[in-house]
Amino acid sequence: MKRIILAVMNDVLIYGAYGYTGKLIVEEAVAKGWKPTVAGRNAELVKTLANQYDLPYEVFVHSDQNGWDKALANKKLLLNCAGPFSLTIKEILPACIRNKTHYTDITGEIEVFEYIQSYDKQAKDMGITLLPGTGFDVVPTDCLAKYLSEKMPNATHLELAFESNSGLSRGTAMSVLNRFHQGSAIRTNGVITEQQTASVNKILRFQGKERNVVGIAWGDVFTAFVTTGIPNIQVFTGMPVKMMNAMRRASKWSWLIKSAIMQRIGRYLIREKIVGPSQEKRESLKTYLYGRVWDKKGNEVVAEMATPESYKLTAIMSVICAEKVLNGESEPGFQTPAGAFGPELITQVDGVAITWHE
Ligand SMILES: NC(=O)c1ccc[n+]([C@@H]2O[C@H](COP(=O)([O-])OP(=O)(O)OC[C@H]3O[C@@H](n4cnc5c(N)ncnc54)[C@H](OP(=O)(O)O)[C@@H]3O)[C@@H](O)[C@H]2O)c1
């Protein structure tokens, strides 16, 4: 039995594999006995990674459709790590549909979830699963949202929050820069609207500490609605007041930040300055989450979750999700993590603890 599963796990292409998170995912997959094909646009970096783990590889740019057709011809699943995904998805997803290849990724970008969902019918027709968001954003929050909605099926509102001290990887910083001008996001009566960056904050108490949290455009504003049907959703992250005020000031310059020149300068600075959390941080830190649902009468249910560090969790979770899709545990079409596998998905990771407020 084990041999059959490993053979299928070899039918995986990991694109964007030499990026910060891609490498962690490759390492996790190899540790589980997979032999995925690694791919990306920089030949030298792809080959170095492939040689390090003795893996097959492919080199092509994300817009090369012949490259995709060749690389996906014998593959059952693509695990996409090439973000910001809003800049790559439109060339990548149609290639998966065309080649009948399951699609997973580690996006947290609302507009990317929206775009992928628009391929739901084509994916169903082809019998493939589209499962974006298999990283820290959105697996633990999606599972927390699902647990809460099961406790209160008539909930009208969902509030999620998290605090992580890991810092950002290069790609996450690029994604933040790329959509900074769009501000935060909230779902009201089923509809997503934008809010000015860092304009909404509150104090929440979780893990025994009062935390200043700020509303952000987290993927769950899109996905938690699909998973739970709750029509009003907001997601917050812990943020020191000083940083929140700096972001509020910066948001007045959104028009400038989104200009091509400032985006180029920003990308240059990110490439030069950001390396991502160290291994020591990944192994020692934890991430804390909070979730609350309430109904029209004001009844509420509150829960908290502690997980391993967010990039470590992303590597573990994206491999587990890919494995489950390949094992036929997901339905065809657009899926969310907890929608596809239930809220218990998160408990497959060692070191996850869930507590309920009385
Ligand atoms: N959901 C989560 O919790 C979670 C966790 C971690 C990361 N992420 C997301 O995952 C993405 C990657 O993060 P990271 O830190 O690994 O970033 P990274 O170190 O910059 O790696 C990004 C990878 O994608 C490739 N790439 C980017 N644009 C490309 C394009 N147009 N064509 C081909 N390859 C392209 C890069 O290749 P080049 O170096 O050649 O550009 C690199 O291999 C980001 O969007 C980040 O926000 C999400």
Q: Is 105's C-beta closer than 6 angstroms to any atom of ligand 1?
A: no
Q: Which atom of ligand 1 is nearest to the CA of 85?
A: 45
Peptide bond into 319 cis (omega under 30): no
Which residue's alpha carbon is nearest to atom 15 within ligand 1? 171
pLDDT in tens, the chain (358 residues): 444 555 567 899 999 999 999 999 999 999 999 999 999 999 999 999 999 999 999 999 999 999 999 999 999 999 999 999 999 999 999 999 999 999 999 999 999 999 999 999 999 999 999 999 999 999 999 999 999 999 999 999 999 999 988 888 887 888 788 888 888 999 999 999 999 999 999 999 998 899 999 999 999 999 999 999 999 999 999 999 999 999 999 888 888 888 999 989 999 998 888 888 899 999 999 999 999 999 999 999 999 999 999 999 999 999 999 999 999 999 999 999 999 999 999 999 999 999 999 8
Q: Which residue has the tokens 């628009």?
A: 118
Q: How far is residue 287 from each of residues 48, 103, 305, 351, measured CA to CA in Å?
A: 32, 27, 8, 11
| Inter-residue long-range contacts of 29-38, CB under 8 Å, 24+ positions, other chains counted | 29/319, 29/322, 30/55, 32/319, 32/323, 33/6, 33/9, 34/6, 34/9, 34/10, 34/319, 35/9, 35/10, 36/9, 36/10, 36/12, 36/79, 37/12, 37/13, 37/71, 37/75, 38/14
Nearest CA to ligand 1 atom 35: 82
Between CA 240 and CA 331 the distance in angstroms is: 41
pLDDT at 6: 59
Q: How far is the CA of 201 from the centre of ligand 1 (A)?
A: 29
**129-131 and 333-334 beta bridge pairing:** parallel
Give me the pLDDT at residue 8, please.
Answer: 65
Q: Which ligand 1 atom is nearest residue 63's CA? A: 32
Burial bucket for residue 334 (CB in 10 Å: 0-12, 13-18, 19+): buried
Whether the CB of 274 sits within 6 Å of ligand 1: no
Structure confidence at residue 281 (pLDDT): 93
Q: How far apart are the two ends of the chain, measured CA to CA in Å?
A: 44
Tell me, using a 6 A CB cutoff, whether residue 21 lines ligand 1.
yes
Amino acid, res. 99: N
* Pairing status of strand 129-131 against strand 57-59: unpaired
| Ligand 1 atom nearest to CA at 106 | 1
Residue nearest to atom 21 of ligand 1 (CA): 19
Rounded Cα gap, residues 25 and 280, in angstroms: 17
Which runs of consecutive H residues, i.e. helices, occur in the chain? Answer: 2-9, 20-31, 43-53, 65-72, 89-98, 110-117, 120-126, 139-151, 170-179, 220-228, 241-251, 254-257, 260-273, 279-284, 310-326, 337-341
CB-based contacts of 5: which residues, under 8 Å, 6+ apart? 323, 326, 327
- How many A from CA of 88 to the centre of ligand 1? 10
Q: How far is the CA of 7 from the centre of ligand 1 (A)?
A: 27
pLDDT for the residue 182: 85
List the structure tokens of 328. Answer: 């036929």
Ligand 1 centroid to Cα of residue 174, in Å, is: 8
Residue 68 beta carbon below 6 angstroms from any ligand 1 atom = no
Ligand 1 site, residue 106, Cβ cutoff 6 A: yes
Give all domains of the chain, ordered by start, each with its CATH number: 2-135+312-344 (3.40.50.720), 139-309+351-356 (3.30.360.10)
Answer yes or no: pTM beyond 0.85. Answer: yes
The residues with which 236 forms a beta bridge, in sequence order, are 161, 215
Q: What per-residue confidence (pLDDT) applies to 358?
A: 80
Query: Strand, coil or helix: what is 293?
Result: strand
Q: Is the CB of 162 under 6 A from ligand 1?
A: no
pLDDT in tens, 183-202: 899 999 999 999 999 999 99
262 C-alpha to ligand 1 centroid (Å): 20
pLDDT, residue 165, reads: 84
Ligand 1 contacts CB of residue 173 (under 6 A): no
Q: Are 175 and 108 in contact (CB under 8 A)?
A: yes
Q: At what angle do helices 110-117 and 220-228 cross, to 10 degrees?
A: 50
Position 343 scores a pLDDT of 98
Coil, helix or strand at residue 324? helix
Q: Which ligand 1 atom is at minimum distance from the Cα of 134?
A: 1
Contact indicator for 133, 300 with CB cutoff of 8 Å: no
User: What angle (nearest 5°) sits at the alpha carbon of residue 25, between those of residues 19 and 28?
Assistant: 145
pLDDT score for 5: 58
What is the spatial distance between Cα 333 and Cα 199, in angstroms, rounded to a whole number?
36
Triad 267, 269, 274: Cα angle to 5°? 100
For residue 82, the ligand 1 atom closest to its alpha carbon is 24
Give nearest CA residue, ligand 1 atom 13.
171
Which tokens belong to 216? 């952000």
Residue indicated by tokens 């999620």? 160
> Which of 18, 28, 41, 93 best tests ligand 1's pocket when mutated (most atoms within 8 Å of CB)?
41
